[in-house]
A and B are shown apart, each in its own frame.
Chain A
């Protein structure tokens, strides 16, 4: 039901509203709630009751509210779940592409044995989707369901596991933890459990690190996980908001050279002089020391304006980052907060700037700067930036990192010239890094979410067999460490019951299953109010409020019952006269609750149930502004979703390229074998296919054309593939029989160019874009892939 999203619109909202003076619900607090002194406790408790009630009503589907708000909320919810599942698909694809990246170079160099080719080929066996299926065995379903419930709801087990596993083992665990166990990126309970897991690993890391300068530096399974975390939906939207525009502006200026390393500037200068005059004057030796280069007046004159410009650009980056404090995902801010409080606890003497340094060590070093240095990997831009902008981006990242760390010593002397950027912004950045940490905790709402989860009868986890087995295998392998001092733990019981972990199944046999989660120890909670220590009157009050809000949202705005001031009885009466059974029931229940609450003395007929009325009005106002917020968030997420999908398409095309390449390599070596055996097979010629200049230009295949505009309409290309892996591109002018130009292309060469980031394929009259050509050839010349 739509009301639920109020509870967990974004984790930030729910958490920040609980932050001020929140007192945990406990038995003592509820006793004597009439006592004036406990009123604030009661008031704050009301929030949790509301949240609880609203989340309970998520299961109550007998009245579908059909207003605008409900509709936009539904769209947002669907979008969020699409982003979560698409992210997982991309993660898996990325892993495959990464693996193939490392193998394909060997293929190009013909260094791969046949068995390994088969191994590589098996990566394509699995279609993008893993088929659905069920567990072979009921007993196992039960045990695994319990095991994964335990892993999800008690993050300390995963945290402990993260500390045990090696870097080699992390990949399978990472996928399962980040995209399956805590895969719903926008669900507050999973998000909060995941953060709790981070907290426990972080504090262990603080415990074991001898000095603060080594903190958060090593590449550990945990650092991998935190990175992956920053790259999920919310982090992605943030990077887009904060960086995409700035970076795109910058890379448009392809020729803007802002190099300030005197040695490089000097070398470039020498090169220019030599090209212009054909020789080098005596006073300009070819090779100089860094000091000599820095003292050269011409070099200084070149560098001076570049310094100003770099500082200006870095300032605009910084300003955008600071302006968008509130856009920063809650989880990332919360991690910053943990870093701050752990540092204060472990090093009570640590000065504020040391703390800022450590926060910057996470926020800039692991989150923002990688995206600035390699924006393509973060999907912020479409193509690899050219040399100069790339260097500028690296310099900007270095400046921002320097600002966060404020090192006392400039390792590269020339960077010292940018010191004003650090000194001018020191105060701002420290304030910003501290502001980042100013977010509330979530333990309160997490406790509640956990209760709600227990009360749900249909908690399920969509997980693949191999994820289940891999996690089981890791738990088994590290069980000694995990169970140390916990002889009677639930984990131990479950692991003993499950026995040895089954081996991984072949990719073809892997299945995605819906694993029902439950706990045999905690059991379902049927009576939430008992579990949470909430009084009956609280529950009645919240239920009444929720019902009247629902009724008002469903009644036509013109209805007499909807007039102000609200008359709650009239609203109830109106509902009971309606044909809709859901409305009728709600109306009846509403009226009944009014009576019960009056008997309990919570509200009174005298003032037309004022307390309740006021809360309902407030809620409606809140819902009104909520719609705007929901729509705004939807817009943002749509962009994220689009980016993720584009990236997916890119990854898929990359895999396709590798696939057809491998196919060619194998069919050629097969061909050789056949030829050796005396059988001759005529290769099948594909094409020619005709493409117009205009068409290729539009698709981006032509990235530069020297053909005059008025001639372009007469230019076309024929592409033929005489045998797999070989292509002939010819360029024609309408009306002439003979082509202007013909080019033989081997897929190997194209792939190698792509490997080397060589993007341009020169055809004299036009320049092709290598990745786009590859995509085109794949599309057009896809041969049967029955291997």
Chain B
């Protein structure tokens, strides 16, 4: 049997920006209406990329800051919340530091694009950041209306395939990523996690 390509995606971002809704739309094609904050969820989805079946392991994290110590790596902002947008930069810094590479597969996703009336983050501003960070692909998505959900995830998947080679990766070492380490009394949990792992990918 031909080995399937497997990639890990970690969805990161501030609380309430719609990480779970985005993920659920992508994985299960559903719109979640209820008030249901995430603690930690994991999903698997098989997608077809250019005729090849590819397995995505998606870890949906808690945005609630109290859980930051269990944060894997990465995420989403809401176009209706400037502060959620501002939280992206420190997360990106942490990722770049940890990954020890200057280029990581990354997509920026401004969710809740259906709430145009409440917009706080202009498209220009987001474009600017995207350029500044080396043309990181930017999507304005709506999990509710299922706009650009697949685009964001698939773009990311393609980046991973391109950067890591088409063979995909073996499974060993995954446990380490999933075991959310509790950092010794502090909340800076993202540091020192994932040294030498090149497969994890970010949706910012």
Contact = CB atoms under 8 A, between A and B. Distances in A.
Interface of A: 94, 97-98, 101-102, 104-106, 109, 111, 166-168, 210, 212-214, 217-220, 223-224, 227, 261, 263, 267, 285-287, 289-290, 354, 357-358, 361, 365-366, 369-370, 373-377, 379, 384-385, 387, 390, 394, 397-398, 401-402, 405, 407-409, 411-412, 647, 650-651, 654, 752, 754-757, 771
A219 B43 contact: no
B191 A398 contact: no
A408 B34 CA distance: 7
B24 interface: yes
B25 to A, nearest CB: 11
A290 B44 contact: yes
A352 B176 CA distance: 42
B175 to A, nearest CB: 7
Given A105-B98, A214-B16, A387-B175, A219 B87 contact: yes
Given A217-B37, A654-B184, A102 B191 contact: yes
B83 A218 contact: yes
A754 B191 CA distance: 11
A361 B37 contact: yes
B191 A101 contact: yes
A397 B39 contact: yes
Q: 3 closest pairs, A vs B, by CB?
A: A217-B16, A755-B192, A370-B66
A287 B170 CA distance: 11
B187 A263 contact: no
A650 B60 CA distance: 32
A212 B40 CA distance: 22
Contacts of B179: 387, 390, 757
A374 B30 contact: no
A143 B60 CA distance: 50
A22 B36 CA distance: 38
A291 to B, nearest CB: 10
B151 interface: no
17 contacts: A101-B191, A102-B94, A105-B97, A218-B14, A219-B15, A287-B4, A373-B70, A377-B185, A390-B182, A394-B40, A398-B40, A405-B37, A408-B33, A411-B36, A411-B41, A411-B60, A755-B191
A582 B173 CA distance: 76
Contact of A210 (B30, B35, B118): B118
A377 B186 contact: yes
Given A370-B67, A384-B181, A752-B192, A405 B36 contact: yes
Interface string B35-72: 11111111110100000000100001001111101100
Interface in B113-145: 115, 118
Interface size class of B (residues with CB under 8 A): 35 or more
Contacts of B87: 167, 219
Interface of B: 1, 4, 6, 14-17, 20, 24, 30, 32-44, 46, 55, 60, 63-67, 69-70, 81, 83-84, 86-87, 94, 97-98, 100, 115, 118, 171, 175-176, 179-188, 191-193, 195
A102 B24 CA distance: 32
B100 to A, nearest CB: 7
Contacts, number: 176
A376 B186 contact: no
Given A106-B97, A373-B67, A212 B32 contact: no
Contact of B185 (A354, A366, A651): A651
A373 to B, nearest CB: 6
Given A227-B65, A290-B44, A219 B14 contact: yes
A373 B186 contact: no
B13 to A, nearest CB: 10
A206 to B, nearest CB: 15
Nearest to B16: A217
A654 B66 contact: no
A219 B63 contact: yes
Contact of A263 (B17, B44, B64): B44
B70 A220 contact: no
Interface centre among A210, A752, A755 (most CB of B within 10 A): A755
Contacts of A370: 64, 66-67
Contact of B35 (A219, A263, A358): A358
A394 to B, nearest CB: 6
Contacts of A167: 83, 86-87
A409 B32 contact: yes
A643 B44 CA distance: 41
A227 B153 CA distance: 33
A104 B97 CA distance: 11
B175 A218 contact: no
B37 A218 contact: no
B39 A373 contact: yes
A771 B183 CA distance: 12
A3 B69 CA distance: 44
Contacts of A94: 185-186
A408 B36 CA distance: 9
A290 B55 CA distance: 11
Contacts of A755: 191-192
Contact of B39 (A102, A111, A224, A369): A369
Contacts of A106: 97
A369 B39 CA distance: 9
Contacts of A354: 35
Given A98-B186, A757-B183, 10 more contacts: A98-B187, A109-B97, A214-B16, A217-B15, A219-B63, A261-B42, A366-B66, A377-B183, A384-B181, A407-B35
